[in-house]
Structure 1
Amino acid sequence: MVIHFRSMFGAFLRWLINAWLYVTGKVVPYKGNEWLRGPMSDTEVIGGQFYERYAADRGLVIDKDHKDGLIGDFAALIPATDPLKDKLHPRVRHFYEHTTQYKLEVWSQWYSPISFFSRILIKSVSTRMDQLNIPLDPLETSRGMTNDVLQLKDPATGALVCACWLRRSILSGRVVYAGFYSGVIIDGSPLVKVAFPLPNGNVTVLLRVVVQPDGSVKLISRGRGIGDAGYYRVQKRDADSVRLRYLPLKESIHVYEDEHGTLRTDHLFSFWRFKFLHLHYKIMPV
């Protein structure tokens, strides 16, 4: 009975979100906004097999023999105007360019009051989609998290189109993140693009890379509007355009080496000015 109610409630929430996007979203054409093209699912469940369907539909090849990183050249995504670009820590760069050579441990901490609504959304919607199952309790990731990267390449040139980062909770087996990573240039500014496929749409996050004085890096999604760093909820419309909302959800990802030489990440989420989630990663060589 409880499972049935949760399924019905989840379906209602999905309908409510899609109706809200339809009514309040802005129609944006792909022309002039090619960065908006991204993975969208035609099924209700995303899971860990979506990458293969996406690659097959677009004529891309999955490089299973060459396990490597999320970004081919991470330094290229740092703005030339950043005065600290030359201080980029080599281990931070190595992690992004050779991600599969590391293993991850993660802890989560939620903050009220927004955490209450986030938990409802995750339990009712994310679990059914098998996508964005952000850990609700630190013990959910007590056995660690998987770290699988699949590079999708152009079969004609061998060029890297995007890298798919699949992270599961080893304890529950649920997909925490199934994201597509790439670099984009918008109005001359380099940004990290992360797209998380959802049924009939996706979540697209644009992150600005900022080098810190100690050589660590912050990836920040704080921007001013469409085409700038930020958090976008994208809904499928037609072959030429999408409907989207630019949301007041902000992320800050700080990748650094601590005083003991261990690579770590502090990943903070906030809605408006209210912090609601802190994920802390310990990143260790395999």
Structure 2
Amino acid sequence: MNVAYRMQKFQDWITQQWVISFGRRVNPSQNLWLMGPFGEINGIGEKFIEQLTERENLEIVKDFESAGLLDSINNLNLSVHEISSLSKNVIDFYENTSAYRLKFKVKWNPVFKLFGYSVNRLFSQRINQLNIPVNRIHKSEDLTSEIIKLVCRETGELKYTLWLRKFRLTGKIIYSGIYSTCKVPSGNTCVKAVFPLPKGNATVILQPSVGDSGEPILNSSGERFGDAGFYFLLNDSKGNFWSKYIPSFTDKLTVTENKGKLRAVQTLKLWNITVSTFEYDLEKYHYGR
């Protein structure tokens, strides 16, 4: 019988056992598009960064003024027409993410507020990851936003790009994710966001496209394993890899520009019903002022 790692919190163990029971065993070498770093049982949050650098012999490089989620918008392999329809400001945000201030609002569907509260109490506060407020935020809250590059100590080659977002007032981490692009089995290029969890991670694969008004869209909608979508991954007690694909849970992110101002809207849905909506106002720093 395949069993989750025993020496950990019960709520983590039961979640992982569910993935093992209803998911599939995966071979990492045959699913490189899906693979990403796993967290340890004794700390996620910023502690995960220290653990990852030690485990993989990496060095932290911080470049506040110019680091981006993408080295180039061309990494998305969009068509020439799609690239040309994007505004220069939107492209600049993706290529120079760390140069932007973030203001954040959240609105929950009342039906799912109890679910959000449970996740917060059982997981988020303890592991310092995905600390999403359950109550609606009427006034925008400031987030700190930092792009951290992890490079190989021996070669200097970039290994991971990590986007760390925290509430400025409390210091709680709302997102600590590793971002990259990958090619899913269909051959399409997608954005991959990996959020470390104890003995595993939650990975979101998002298909990029461009809307009719030139707005970039990242959408995790899919139908089967190998598509864009939401995945749990983990190691069991014997070191085997397991994954559970959840097509009913989707994440859509759209960045729009209006009179030079950028706004990102992220919508999470379950069974096509909106769970919560996040709004981000994106404002570029003006250095020297």
Q: TM-score under structure 2 normalisation? A: 0.87
For 2:190, the aligned partner's letter is L
* 1:117 corresponds to: 115
Q: The residue matched to 1:171 in structure 2 has which SS?
A: coil
* 1:88 corresponds to: 86
The 8 Å contact of residues 250 and 269 in structure 1, kept in 2 or not, is answered as yes
Q: CA deviation at 1:197?
A: 0.3
Task: Kindly provide the CA deviation profile for residues 79-114 of structure 1, in whole angstroms up to 9, marking residues without a partner as x.
Answer: 44x853321222111111111110000000000322
Q: CA deviation at 1:193?
A: 0.6
For 1:269, the aligned partner's letter is L
The count of residues paired between Structure 1 and Structure 2 equals: 275
Q: CA deviation at 1:169?
A: 1.0
Q: The residue matched to 2:142 in structure 1 has which SS?
A: coil
| Counterparts of 1:141 and 1:189, CA distance in 2 | 38
Q: The residue matched to 2:33 in structure 1 has which SS?
A: helix
* 2:36 corresponds to: 38
| Counterparts of 1:119 and 1:223, CA distance in 2 | 27
* 1:218 corresponds to: 217
The 8 Å contact of residues 195 and 203 in structure 1, kept in 2 or not, is answered as yes
Task: Kindly provide the CA deviation profile for residues 229-269 of structure 1, in whole angstroms up to 9, marking residues without a partner as x.
Answer: 100011114898511111121000001102x3210000000
For 2:212, the aligned partner's letter is P
* 1:273 corresponds to: 272
What does 1:225-244 correspond to in 2, within 5 Å?
225-237=224-236, 241-244=240-243
Task: Kindly provide the CA deviation profile for residues 152-182 of structure 1, in whole angstroms up to 9, marking residues without a partner as x.
Answer: 1234554432211111112222110010001
Q: The residue matched to 2:105 in structure 1 has which SS?
A: strand
The 8 Å contact of residues 30 and 240 in structure 1, kept in 2 or not, is answered as no
| Counterparts of 1:71 and 1:60, CA distance in 2 | 20
The 8 Å contact of residues 72 and 160 in structure 1, kept in 2 or not, is answered as no
* 2:255 corresponds to: 255
Q: 2:161 aligns with which of 153, 160, 163?
A: 163
| Counterparts of 2:151 and 2:53, CA distance in 1 | 9
Q: The residue matched to 1:147 in structure 2 has which SS?
A: strand
Q: CA deviation at 1:279?
A: 0.2
* 1:202 corresponds to: 201
Stretch moving more, 186-195 or 139-148? 139-148
Q: 1:108 aligns with which of 103, 106, 109?
A: 106
Q: Residue 229 and residue 141 in structure 1: after superposition, are their counterparts in 2 closer, same or farther (change >3 A)? A: farther
Q: The residue matched to 1:72 in structure 2 has which SS?
A: coil
Stretch moving more, 88-97 or 35-44? 35-44
The 8 Å contact of residues 104 and 141 in structure 2, kept in 1 or not, is answered as no
The 8 Å contact of residues 152 and 162 in structure 1, kept in 2 or not, is answered as yes
Instruction: Identify unmatched segments of 5+ residues in structure 2.
Output: 1-7
Q: Percent of aligned pairs with the same residue?
A: 30
What does 1:181-196 correspond to in 2, within 5 Å?
181-187=179-185, 188-196=187-195
| Counterparts of 1:86 and 1:96, CA distance in 2 | 15
| Counterparts of 2:167 and 2:177, CA distance in 1 | 15
For 1:162, the aligned partner's letter is Y
Q: The residue matched to 1:163 in structure 2 has which SS?
A: strand
Stretch moving more, 215-224 or 136-145? 136-145
For 1:29, the aligned partner's letter is N
Q: The residue matched to 1:228 in structure 2 has which SS?
A: coil
Q: Residue 250 and residue 65 in structure 1: after superposition, are their counterparts in 2 closer, same or farther (change >3 A)? A: closer
Q: CA deviation at 1:59?
A: 2.2
* 1:178 corresponds to: 176
The 8 Å contact of residues 78 and 210 in structure 1, kept in 2 or not, is answered as no
Q: CA deviation at 1:20?
A: 1.1
The 8 Å contact of residues 140 and 171 in structure 1, kept in 2 or not, is answered as no
Instruction: Identify unmatched segments of 5+ residues in structure 1.
Output: 1-9
The 8 Å contact of residues 265 and 279 in structure 2, kept in 1 or not, is answered as yes
Give RMSD over aligned pairs. Answer: 2.3
